[in-house]
Amino acid sequence: MLAAALITSTGEMVMTYLTPTGGDIWATTYHTERMDVDVDRDSGFCSVGFSDSRALALDRLGNLLAMDLILT
């Protein structure tokens, strides 16, 4: 599966992934909560990673957001 997760400059976590049905459609999912990136707006520090079943994002203050990868 191809997937990407990112944090926007306003702290929004966005994940996009290629649907596994073979339709070559990139699905996009937005997290309902925002990260606190005001302190780090100039440097843009945050961490984004993947496990087998979810995307994770962590800001400098230790706020953790997770989004499950739902394969339909």
Count the domains in the chain. Answer: 1
Amino acid at position 55, single letter: A
**pLDDT, tens digit, for every residue of 38-71?**
766 666 567 788 877 788 888 777 778 888 876 5
Token pair 């945050």 is found at 46
* Structural domain that includes position 26: 3-68
What's the pLDDT at 39?
67
First vs last Cα of the chain: how many Å apart? 12
- Check: pTM over 0.85? Answer yes or no: no
